[in-house]
């Protein structure tokens, strides 16, 4: 049956080959969060490689890879449509094309490896070239056009802490490389499949060894994450501004008092509100800060997402920032972090003035915060602030001066009840493991969570729920190899795989 399936795939030509490849790519998306149906890759990856081998020319192989990538990203990023539906009356025409259109440039990052793999002979050489080139293009995807490293292939294993512990050494890109090599083994015979199974068993054993030791005692800090569950279409309406503020204040007041009663007397409490939690300029509005401070006990500190503005001489805003603001019980601002990596089209318009439409809300683009620095807010252990999708960038989440923990505030209300928030959560888990730092995540509609420095889930709220999450702040661990050396680890592994496959597979007369 397996040979018959491969033969059927190899026989596809023309538009039928492209449709079939797109279907295989969409099938591979089921391996991503939240489904994590990883075994589908045992069909999707070999199927793609067989179709590449059967392609008559390098150009045909390129388009087969492009179709596979388009199907994969269109299916994996379908939830982008939810953001369009928030303002369907303005952007209704984007609803059917948003995800397919975004998948078009992303498909190039599969087409490139496909074209390179076609040029070497079948077997291990083609698998190595394809896997190495895939990881190289994954790394490139994190930088081109400001970068969009969402749904890197290694995230398929992020359904738990154990399968992804190797990310501490090789990063998510190293996991992507191993995933491709293992999933291609059905093309390489029984011994290769046994080797792939042994590799997965080795990774599991490595995970057990890392997770076996008892965790260090937590820091003398309690965390209280408030998940307001405010629908995006309501959040910025004028008549909803006070109700939204009241929801967060009231949700914090009783929960903070209860949390401090349960904590030792020498513990402090860090309250975390999500990205742009309340529709006010918190850092610039003393009256709103006074109301917020009324919900904070004396041993508490609030970290809240908020829009921040810089005003000119005429009292007009000259620049606006997507920020995280620390507020103490006296209503004073104790620290600010501005978002560094902005979302194209969501927070600023690329090629400003050249596009005929404006998707960014409001009359101004957001400004970047510049260099990433640890935030120091009174007695709170210094932390790295990651606002929204900044957490998806491996190797770029910590400042040069290593913080004690990471805080990720986000507003996934844009994406409704979909796969988007779960994919975002998986990226956050991987960053904790790669950096060896605990991570607290506050999401407007969920999923909010706390991970320890090994990526184990300490606590979590549900998606689309209103509530609070209470947990101790886990201790930081020693810097991991990935924290020390970063993305070059994945780059070196990619080059080694590609070069060895190219050297072994080069020949004058290419055979499928």
Active site residues: 275, 339, 388
DSSP 303-334: EEEEEEEEE-TTS-EEEEEEEEEEE-TTS-EE
62 C-beta neighbours (distance < 10 Å), count: 21
Could you tell me which residues are beta bridge partners of residue 441? 408, 449
The sign of the torsion formed by the CA atoms of 132, 133, 138, 143 equals positive
- Give the whole-angstrom CA distance, residue 164 versus residue 426: 11
C-alpha angle 484-158-324 in degrees, rounded to nearest 5: 65
Burial class (CB in 10 A: 0-12, 13-18, 19+), 175: buried
- Give the whole-angstrom CA distance, residue 403 versus residue 146: 24
Identify which of 285, 216, 193 has the alpha carbon closest to the alpha carbon of residue 245: 285
Identify which of 460, 303, 302, 282 has the alpha carbon closest to the alpha carbon of residue 386: 303
Q: What is the 3-state secondary structure (H, E, C) of 293-308?
A: HCCCCCCEEEEEEEEE
- Distances in Å between the Cα of 95 and the Cα atoms of 85, 386, 414 are 7, 29, 14
- Give the whole-angstrom CA distance, residue 308 versus residue 32: 35
Helices (H), 212-272: 232-235, 241-262
What residues contact 84, with CB distance under 8 A and at least 6 apart?
91, 92, 94, 95, 98
């Amino acid at each position: 049956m397996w040979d018959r399936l491969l033969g059927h795939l190899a026989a596809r030509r023309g538009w039928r080959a492209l449709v079939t490849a797109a279907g295989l790519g969409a099938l591979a998306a089921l391996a991503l969060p939240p489904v994590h149906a990883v075994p589908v890759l045992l069909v999707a990856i070999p199927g793609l490689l067989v179709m590449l081998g059967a392609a008559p020319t390098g150009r045909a192989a390129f388009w087969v890879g492009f179709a596979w990538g388009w199907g994969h990203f269109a299916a994996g990023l379908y939830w982008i449509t939810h953001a369009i539906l928030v303002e369907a009356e303005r952007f209704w025409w984007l609803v059917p094309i948003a995800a397919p259109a975004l998948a078009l440039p992303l498909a190039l990052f599969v087409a490139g490896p496909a074209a390179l793999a076609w040029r070497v002979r079948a077997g291990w050489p083609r698998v190595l070239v394809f896997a190495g080139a895939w990881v190289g293009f994954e790394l490139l995807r994190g930088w081109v056009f400001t970068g969009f490293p969402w749904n890197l292939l290694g995230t398929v294993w992020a359904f738990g802490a154990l399968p992804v512990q190797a990310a501490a050494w090789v990063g998510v890109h190293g996991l992507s490389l191993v995933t491709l090599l293992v999933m291609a083994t059905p093309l390489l015979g029984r011994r290769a499949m046994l080797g792939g199974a042994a590799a997965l068993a080795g990774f599991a054993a490595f995970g057990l060894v890392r997770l076996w030791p008892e965790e260090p005692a937590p820091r003398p800090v309690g965390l209280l994450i408030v998940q307001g569950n405010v629908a995006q279409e309501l959040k910025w309406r004028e008549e909803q501004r006070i109700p939204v503020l009241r929801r967060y204040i009231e949700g914090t007041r009783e929960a903070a008092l209860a949390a401090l009663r349960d904590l030792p007397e020498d513990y402090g409490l860090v309250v975390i509100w999500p990205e742009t939690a309340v529709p006010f300029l918190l850092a610039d509005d003393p009256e709103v800060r006074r109301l917020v401070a009324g919900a904070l006990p004396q041993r508490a500190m609030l970290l809240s997402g908020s829009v921040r503005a810089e005003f000119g001489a005429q009292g007009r805003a000259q620049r606006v920032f997507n920020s995280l603001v620390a507020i103490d019980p006296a209503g004073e601002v104790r620290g600010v972090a501005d978002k560094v990596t902005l979302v194209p089209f969501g927070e600023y318009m690329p090629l400003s003035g050249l596009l005929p439409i404006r998707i960014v809300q409001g009359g101004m683009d957001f400004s970047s915060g510049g260099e990433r620095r640890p935030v120091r807010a009174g007695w709170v252990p210094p932390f790295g602030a990651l606002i929204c999708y900044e957490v998806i960038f491996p190797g770029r989440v910590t400042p040069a001066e290593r913080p004690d923990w990471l805080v990720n505030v986000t507003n996934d209300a844009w994406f409704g009840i979909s796969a988007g928030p779960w994919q975002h959560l998986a990226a956050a888990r991987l960053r904790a493991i790669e950096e060896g730092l605990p991570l607290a995540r506050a999401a407007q509609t969920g999923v909010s969570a706390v991970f320890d420095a090994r990526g184990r889930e300490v606590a979590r709220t549900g998606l689309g729920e209103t509530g609070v999450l209470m947990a101790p702040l886990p201790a930081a661990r020693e810097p991991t190899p990935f924290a020390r050396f970063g993305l070059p680890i994945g780059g070196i592994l990619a080059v080694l795989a590609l070069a060895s496959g190219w050297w072994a597979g080069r020949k004058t007369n290419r055979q499928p």
